[in-house]
């Protein structure tokens, strides 16, 4: 049995056909530039890649139809037992994988208020797959679900309480599926039951989030009401003095929309360095002696180290630190700069291991005198496939 | 010789006449409700308090004239050797006590852009005292000065770099005089030269800030571009997801001005509890079983603990933690809740000492197994008097 995993954005649709037991992919790929005449879909099977232009109307439905053709041609259609969808925002309602019903779709639509860029796109993906896979059950896996175990002290802001009660303004957190995956992995590396494990996990990609996990459950996380809060990211500012927004508008004449764009798209590594949002490019420039590249990396790593350290207030003991995501899995430079600032918490990198464990490898990168620190490549698709499969079994289907 | 210390706000003027060597006050007091017909001035000499109504035009000049009368009546006028003014914002220009000249006044006025509520009021105080003490030198002691030693990685935000270069948008930090005073004290308690001391200091009053001090110098602090950032305060939110501002305006119809007021005046302990911004009142309600009071205190203490813990990324070793300010000096409840969340950093309260060291007492409150933690009553006036005196001596005056 295979699970089709769908991660649908406003102009893209990622997919993976996966064995939920082993995580083995029969095929994966992405449809990109949807809703434009450059729309295309690429498939990867057995390491071979194939790209097809999409035909009008260039939309998500077109992409799904092309995907079904491809799946059928490869004799995989019959093996699909269910569809698992990544859905970004589940609000306070969804803390579990959830069978998609018309009512659930309504709720996802309502939650679009909290995730206007993501939930509507996720719904488009759900409806496109429903059309061609009407015989299969569809399951929603929410990015926020893993963090629904946070205690009040972690999710309530220092704001008038009615903003939480009446308008749902609180910390939700994101990247839940990734944090869940790597903490599970770390618990098996440690050979300790997940319910007894305390970790801090750092998902460092284009978006970055740090989470504190106590007894296998998320108790705090750096992303907040939206994915703008927390550490410095590729193009997002992370935490700033909120007054800066007033200053930009009142003193410097920005519109609030411009500030929104500034903080989400022009800040972070890109804004500080003035070079790129891509960590690789900035590391190259760092080596070439560029000062602003160095500053961007210094601020990035210092703020991540501070956020990791801050979560020591959430735990009485700490089994280890986990790095994942594009940067966390691949950049020994960043990992080393972070760990070097965590000596008071008992961390120290083993520079040789740190250089070795990259590009998909998994393992320890800490010195023998240090608390454990692992690099664990994340695999959100696998979690989605697994949880979708679990739900079917639990429901006796 | 006595120094007259002036701390001037928009409708108040605090003063203290002090021996800079001993910190002994010959008199202190405050003029309040200035610019309204309730304007009054109160004096305290030898523990006795006296209040006078002020006459029209009820302004800062009126208050200063009344102060001079009082000083003269008490035969203290001749003993005053200089005036020390608290000035809130010194920007990047002032990292030292500074003799006030017309040019310095210009700069303080220019910096009003960064501190529109404070610097203009500080200037009013300077000009009012200049009139009646024209024979004396006036010195400015800046709230931001102590933090000018922060490294770039601590003061640069994850924003486009030109906002720093062209508009001075960076972390400045405040409460510098207080952090400086308590770190000096802690170094003598420790009998270790200040230049070798690493501390984290928590100034918890109506405004709250946490600072990291390495080798006696500030390397990071929680207040930022303005005093809104950082931990939850009496009425200020501290850190929030910046997107919440967009949400309040775009989805909930707030004006940006209303959001500004909300975050600065209606948030923090007041906002969460719905009861008060005053920590004492909230603690009373906590004891009475009020859930929102408990939540406010939980969020307050957790966020302070996280901020303290975060600064462990700024230090390789830590000589101790310092509590000061109205809450830090007096609330054993708050201190205990914070310390209990810092066990990973090696802190543990001694509850008996913690209950004892309050109401102006100074001393250790940590368990023998813990890193040192001190309560140190702050005395910003003394720093201002001392630094004013130093400057005079250094200039050979
Ligand atoms: N070898 C590498 N060294 C440093 N950074 C890398 C390396 N490989 C990938 N990255 C960085 O990972 C980031 C993308 O992470 P990823 O997890 O793929 O992003 P997303 O959050 O979009 O899923 C980019 O900043 C990229 O530069
Ligand atoms: N005994 C006490 N217990 C708890 N909080 C106290 C106590 N005494 C004073 N405080 C609190 O100290 C705060 C005022 O601190 P203070 O340093 O005087 O303020 P400011 O920042 O205005 O100088 C108030 O929240 C007050 O409730």
Please classify residue A99 by burial: count the beta carbons closer than 10 Å to its beta carbon, then call 0-12 exposed, 13-18 middle and 19+ buried.
middle
C-alpha–C-alpha distance, residues A314 and A149, integer Å? 13
User: Which pLDDT value is given to residue A9?
Assistant: 87
Q: In what side-by-side order are the strands of the sheet with B2-8? A: B48-53, B40-45, B25-32, B13-18, B2-8, B80-87, B137-142, B98-99
Residue B229 has pLDDT above 90, yes or no: yes
User: Which pLDDT value is given to residue A138?
Assistant: 97
User: Which pLDDT value is given to residue B156?
Assistant: 98
Instruction: Estimate to the nearest angstrom the gap between the alpha carbon of B204 and the chain centroid.
Output: 9
User: Which pLDDT value is given to residue B321?
Assistant: 98
Position A117 confidence tier, pLDDT thresholds 50, 70, 90: confident
Q: What secondary structure does DSSP assign to A258-324, as a single string?
A: HHHHHHHHS-HHHHHHSS-S-HHHHHHHHHTT-HHHHHHHHHHHHHHHHHHHHGGGG-SS--EEEEE
The residue out of B123, B142, B161 marking a domain boundary is B142
Query: Hey, are the CB atoms on B342 and A313 less than 8 Å from each other?
Result: yes
Query: Hey, are the CB atoms on B225 and A246 less than 8 Å from each other?
Result: no
Averaged pLDDT for residues B130-145: 95
Position B187 confidence tier, pLDDT thresholds 50, 70, 90: very high
Position A18 confidence tier, pLDDT thresholds 50, 70, 90: very high
Same structural domain, A215 and A304: yes
Position B32 confidence tier, pLDDT thresholds 50, 70, 90: very high
Averaged pLDDT for residues A133-150: 96
Residue A125 has pLDDT above 90, yes or no: yes
Strands A40-45, A25-32: pairing kind: antiparallel
CB of A379 within 6 A of ligand 1: the answer is no
The residue out of A142, A163, A182 marking a domain boundary is A142
In a domain, A179, yes or no: no
Same structural domain, A199 and A305: yes
B28 strand-pairing partners: B16, B44
DSSP state of A344: G
pLDDT tens digits for range A47-96: 899 999 999 999 999 999 999 999 999 999 999 999 999 999 999 999 99
The percent of residues in chain A predicted with pLDDT above 90, rounded, is 96
- Closest atom of ligand 1 to A358 CA is 1
Averaged pLDDT for residues A217-222: 98
Residue B116 has pLDDT above 90, yes or no: no
In a domain, B149, yes or no: no
In a domain, A177, yes or no: no
In a domain, B29, yes or no: yes
Q: Output Rg (C-alpha) for chain B, integer angstroms.
A: 21
Residue B397 has pLDDT above 80, yes or no: no
Q: Is B59 a catalytic residue?
A: no
A49 strand-pairing partners: A44
pLDDT, mean over chain A:
96
pLDDT tens digits for range A227-256: 999 999 999 999 999 999 999 999 999 999
C-alpha–C-alpha distance, residues B137 and A345, integer Å? 49
Residue B198 has pLDDT above 90, yes or no: yes
Same structural domain, B222 and B325: yes
Q: How far is B215 from chain A (nearest CA, A)?
A: 16
Nearest CA to ligand 1 atom 7: A330
C-alpha–C-alpha distance, residues B183 and B214, integer Å? 10
Ligand in nearest proximity to the CA of B287? 2
Averaged pLDDT for residues B127-147: 95
Nearest Cα to A205, choosing from A99, A66, A334, A395? A334
> How many alpha carbons lie under 13 Å from residue B195 in its C-beta half-sphere?
0
Interacting residues of A9 by C-beta distance below 8 A, sequence separation 6+ = A118, A121
Residue B227 has pLDDT above 90, yes or no: yes
User: Which pLDDT value is given to residue B395?
Assistant: 84
C-alpha–C-alpha distance, residues B190 and B302, integer Å? 28
CATH number of the domain to which A71 belongs? 3.30.420.40
Averaged pLDDT for residues A192-196: 98
Cβ neighbours of A254 (radius 10 Å): 16
Averaged pLDDT for residues A351-375: 98
Same structural domain, B226 and B334: yes
How far is ligand 1, taken at its centre, from the CA of residue A279, in Å? 6
Nearest Cα to B8, choosing from B188, B128, B90, B104? B128
In a domain, A392, yes or no: no
Burial of A168-189, coded b for 16+ CB within 10 Å and e otherwise, reads ebbbbbbbbbbbbbbbbbbbeb
Same structural domain, A22 and A111: yes
Lowest mean pLDDT among A115-124, A133-142, A313-322, B299-308: A115-124
pLDDT tens digits for range A252-270: 999 999 999 999 999 999 9
Candidate of A118, A206, A227, A301 to mutate for ligand 1, largest count of ligand atoms within 8 Å of Cβ: A206
Give me the number of domains chain A comprises: 2
Same structural domain, A217 and A121: no
- Closest atom of ligand 1 to A359 CA is 1
The residue out of A123, A142, A161 marking a domain boundary is A142
Q: Which of A226, A239, A249 sits opposite B256 (nearest CB)?
A: A249
How far is ligand 2, taken at its centre, from the CA of residue B277, in Å? 10
pLDDT tens digits for range B56-86: 999 999 999 999 999 999 999 999 999 999 9
In a domain, B248, yes or no: yes
On whether the CB atoms of residues A214 and A198 are closer than 8 A, the answer is yes
Residue A397 has pLDDT above 80, yes or no: no
pLDDT tens digits for range B91-100: 999 999 999 9
In a domain, B187, yes or no: no
Same structural domain, A108 and A200: no
Averaged pLDDT for residues A170-175: 98
Q: Spell out which residues of chain A touch residue B310, defining contact as CB-CB under 8 Å.
A: 306-307, 309-310
In a domain, A367, yes or no: yes
The percent of residues in chain B predicted with pLDDT above 70, rounded, is 100
Same structural domain, B324 and B204: yes
Mutual angle of helices B279-287 and B291-310, in 10-degree steps: 120
User: Which pLDDT value is given to residue B73?
Assistant: 94
Same structural domain, A221 and A346: yes
How many A×B Cβ pairs under 8 Å? 238
Candidate of A326, A336, A377 to mutate for ligand 1, largest count of ligand atoms within 8 Å of Cβ: A326
Tell me which residue range forms the domain holding A111. Answer: 2-142
Interacting residues of A225 by C-beta distance below 8 A, sequence separation 6+ = A114, A157, A169, A170, A171, A172, B240, B241, B243, B244, B247
pLDDT tens digits for range B256-285: 999 999 999 999 999 999 999 999 999 999
Same structural domain, B132 and B241: no
C-alpha–C-alpha distance, residues B301 and B238, integer Å? 13
Cβ neighbours of B261 (radius 10 Å): 14
Same structural domain, A138 and A200: no
Interacting residues of B4 by C-beta distance below 8 A, sequence separation 6+ = B15, B16, B17, B18, B71, B80, B82, B83, B84, B129, B133
Q: Is A169 on the interface with B (CB under 8 A)?
A: yes
C-alpha–C-alpha distance, residues B156 and B170, integer Å? 5
Same structural domain, A364 and A228: yes
Averaged pLDDT for residues A10-33: 95
pLDDT tens digits for range B1-23: 999 999 998 889 999 999 999 99
């Amino acid at each position: 049995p295979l699970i089709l995993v769908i991660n649908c954005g406003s102009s893209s649709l990622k997919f993976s056909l996966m064995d939920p037991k082993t995580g083995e992919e029969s095929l994966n790929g992405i449809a990109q530039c949807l809703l434009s005449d450059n729309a295309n879909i690429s498939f990867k099977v057995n390491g071979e890649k194939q790209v097809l232009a999409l035909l009008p109307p260039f939309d998500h439905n077109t992409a799904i139809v092309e995907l079904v053709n491809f799946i059928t041609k490869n004799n995989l259609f019959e093996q699909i037992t269910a569809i698992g969808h990544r859905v970004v925002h589940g609000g306070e309602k969804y803390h579990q994988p959830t069978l998609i019903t018309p009512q659930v779709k309504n709720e996802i639509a309502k939650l679009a208020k909290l995730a206007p860029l993501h939930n509507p796109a996720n719904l488009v993906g759900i409806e496109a797959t429903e059309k061609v896979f009407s015989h299969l059950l569809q399951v929603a896996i929410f990015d926020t679900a893993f963090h629904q175990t946070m205690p009040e002290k972690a999710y309530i802001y220092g704001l008038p309480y009615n903003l939480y009660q009446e308008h749902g303004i609180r910390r939700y957190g994101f990247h839940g599926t990734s944090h869940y995956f790597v903490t599970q992995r770390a618990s098996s590396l440690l050979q300790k039951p997940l319910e007894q494990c305390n970790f801090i996990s750092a998902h460092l990609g284009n978006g970055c989030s740090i989470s504190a996990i106590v007894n296998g459950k998320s108790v705090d996380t750096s992303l907040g009401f939206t994915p703008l809060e927390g550490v410095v990211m590729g193009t997002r500012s992370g935490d700033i003095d909120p007054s800066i927004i007033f200053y930009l508008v009142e003193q410097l004449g920005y519109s609030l929309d411009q500030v929104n764009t500034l903080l989400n798209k022009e800040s972070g590594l890109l804004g500080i360095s003035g070079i790129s949002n891509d960590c690789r490019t900035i590391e190259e420039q760092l080596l070439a002696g560029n000062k602003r590249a160095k500053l961007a990396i210094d601020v990035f790593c210092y703020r991540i180290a501070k956020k990791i350290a801050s979560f020591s207030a959430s735990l009485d003991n700490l089994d280890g630190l986990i790095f994942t995501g594009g940067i966390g899995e691949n950049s020994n430079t960043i990992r080393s700069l972070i760990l070097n600032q965590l000596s008071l918490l008992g961390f120290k990198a083993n520079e040789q291991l740190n250089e070795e464990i990259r590009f998909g490898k998994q393992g320890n990168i800490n010195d023998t005198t240090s608390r454990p620190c692992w690099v664990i490549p994340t695999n959100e698709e696998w979690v989605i496939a697994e949880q979708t499969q679990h739900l079917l079994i639990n429901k006796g289907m």
